């Protein structure tokens, strides 16, 4: 029992309350009834990445202890269109789009969760039935003072920045979901703490036992840096481009993970690897004492994660690709291939080729790269932007260390 609690609380930021968790676990064991662990998800962004994986990994731990995950898709909320990020004027999604998103979403989620122990629900099921009177009586469970306890609301309030009334409604809707689902535990990112706690209150006022609330940290993106003993960086998100998607190619995932800064690696280990903290501590100590090379530790992390999202074989291949490409600086075997038609009689110019093969986004950029000595053809540095490849040439063209392609020049038609 203590071991279970310790494992489940690893990497958790907030826990309300440990006593509740213990009594629920104890009863679950006694009655042989799995706990219902809720996770709310927004179906607007169907691509899931390592940031989402943190909370999913935690849920997976619950499943391994025999509990049941309720994966709640906030389709009702999405249909209304959360206006808080009004910069982009988020479009209201229609039912078909939501269903499709939900589909791709769940498919990805099952790379981490066990489908047999997962229930997928949609909150339109009960929210759609809640009329105006229902909403008002729901709102009656909450006071403005209580709402203003939420950090970001309080901050905005004191700074005189606007708070929409509807923003008060979202935590209530989310909390009501917990009532409808009779959740035993709800997990979310640490920014969700307030919303999750509202769930507790609403359950109490509906005569239910309040859910246990757990929050996990928001994972920093792969571009996070280490300054003054702290990891500094925005959270992982698709829009910032600092993410590793769980559906990305093994090589891409491996490469991205290898590029994270050393201190960040430990963070990823702790939040995503599923390894025990004693094991990770030992490894970290090994690196500090220089008995383990940091790069080896990082390869271990990358391999582990690629393996989880793809397969052991894919992870091996990704690692090999990484090593030939970057450690040995050899040309890997599987390169993107392009056939490029000559533009003038004696062949195709280098600038043209770089652009066609997507090795440069514009002619200007191609020229620049070339003049800076980044371009190699068959391993030989080419600094003349006017270099021409004759028809029939089959060569490997590289721009910098990362971009390369196999090019065949065909005669002008």
Partner RNA sequence: GGAGGGAUUCCCGAGUGGCCAAAGGGGGCAGGCUGUAAACCUGCUGCGGUAUCGCUUCGGAGGUUCGAAUCCUCCUCCCUCCA
Q: Which residues would be at the binding site for RNA (CB under 7 A)?
A: 160-162, 223, 225-226, 254-255, 258-262, 294-295, 298, 322, 325-327, 343-344, 348-352, 355, 361-365, 367-369, 372-374, 385-386, 388, 399-403
* CA dist., res. 376 & res. 196, Å (int): 55
| Residue entry with tokens 């793809």 | 310
- Cite the DSSP H helix spans in 160-244: 165-181, 193-205
Quick one: tokens of 44? 């607007």
Question: At closest approach, how far in Å is the CB of 77 from RNA?
Answer: 22
* CA dist., res. 231 & res. 75, Å (int): 35
Quick one: tokens of 54? 């943190």
Instruction: For RNA, give the closer residue by CB, 173 or 258.
Output: 258
Instruction: For RNA, give the closer residue by CB, 34 or 363.
Output: 363
* CA dist., res. 116 & res. 105, Å (int): 17
Question: At closest approach, how far in Å is the CB of 177 from RNA?
Answer: 29
Instruction: For RNA, give the closer residue by CB, 170 or 326.
Output: 326
Is residue 274 left, alpha or beta, with left meaning phi > 0 and alpha meaning psi from -120 to 50?
left
- Cite the DSSP H helix spans in 65-205: 75-80, 95-109, 124-127, 132-139, 144-147, 151-158, 165-181, 193-205
Instruction: For RNA, give the closer residue by CB, 234 or 282.
Output: 234
Question: At closest approach, how far in Å is the CB of 237 from RNA?
Answer: 14
Instruction: For RNA, give the closer residue by CB, 27 or 402.
Output: 402
Question: At closest approach, how far in Å is the CB of 112 from RNA?
Answer: 23
* Under 8 Å between Cβ of 74 and 123: yes
Element (H, E) at 299: helix 294-309
Instruction: For RNA, give the closer residue by CB, 89 or 136.
Output: 89
Question: At closest approach, how far in Å is the CB of 223 from RNA?
Answer: 5
Question: At closest approach, how far in Å is the CB of 377 from RNA?
Answer: 13
Instruction: For RNA, give the closer residue by CB, 50 or 198.
Output: 50
Distance of CA 400 to the CA centre of its chain: 28
CA diameter of the chain: 83
Question: At closest approach, how far in Å is the CB of 242 from RNA?
Answer: 8
Which of these, 150, 318, 181, lies nearest to 250 by C-alpha position? 318
């Amino acid at each position: 029992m203590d071991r279970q609690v310790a494992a489940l609380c690893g990497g958790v930021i907030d826990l309300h309350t440990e006593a509740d968790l213990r009594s629920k676990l104890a009863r679950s064991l006694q009655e042989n009834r799995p706990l219902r662990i809720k996770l709310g998800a927004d179906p607007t962004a169907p691509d899931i990445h390592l940031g989402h994986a943190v909370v999913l990994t935690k849920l997976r731990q619950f499943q391994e202890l025999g509990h049941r995950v309720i994966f709640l898709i906030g389709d009702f909320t999405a249909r209304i269109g959360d206006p808080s990020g009004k910069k982009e004027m988020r479009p209201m999604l229609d039912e078909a789009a939501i269903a499709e998103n939900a589909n791709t979403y769940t498919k990805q989620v099952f790379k981490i969760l066990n489908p047999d122990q997962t229930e997928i629900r949609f909150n339109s099921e009960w929210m759609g039935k809640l009329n105006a009177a229902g909403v008002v009586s729901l709102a009656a469970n909450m006071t403005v003072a209580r709402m203003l306890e939420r950090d970001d609301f309080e901050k905005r309030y004191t700074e005189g920045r606007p708070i929409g009334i509807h923003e008060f409604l979202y935590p209530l809707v989310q909390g009501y979901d917990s009532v409808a689902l009779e959740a035993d535990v709800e997990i979310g990112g640490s920014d969700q703490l307030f919303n999750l706690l509202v769930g507790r209150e609403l359950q109490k006022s509906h005569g239910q036992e309040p859910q246990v609330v757990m929050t996990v940290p928001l994972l920093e993106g792969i571009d996070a840096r280490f300054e003054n003993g702290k990891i500094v960086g925005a959270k992982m998100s698709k829009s910032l481009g600092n993410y590793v998607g769980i559906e990305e190619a093994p090589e891409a995932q491996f490469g991205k993970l290898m590029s994270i800064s050393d201190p960040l690696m430990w963070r990823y280990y702790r939040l995503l690897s599923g390894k025990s903290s004693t094991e990770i501590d030992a490894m970290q100590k090994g690196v500090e004492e220089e008995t383990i090379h940091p790069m080896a530790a990082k390869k271990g992390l990358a391999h582990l994660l690629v393996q989880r999202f793809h397969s052991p074989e894919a992870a091996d291949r990704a690692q090999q690709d990484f090593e030939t490409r970057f450690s040995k600086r050899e040309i890997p075997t599987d390169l993107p291939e392009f056939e490029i038609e000559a533009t003038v009689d004696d062949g195709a110019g280098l600038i043209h080729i770089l652009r066609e093969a997507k090795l440069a986004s514009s002619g200007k950029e191609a020229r620049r790269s070339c003049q800076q000595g980044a371009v190699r053809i068959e391993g030989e540095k080419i600094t003349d932007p006017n270099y021409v490849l004759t028809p029939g040439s089959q060569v490997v063209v590289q721009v910098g260390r990362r971009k390369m392609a196999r090019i065949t020049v065909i005669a002008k038609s």
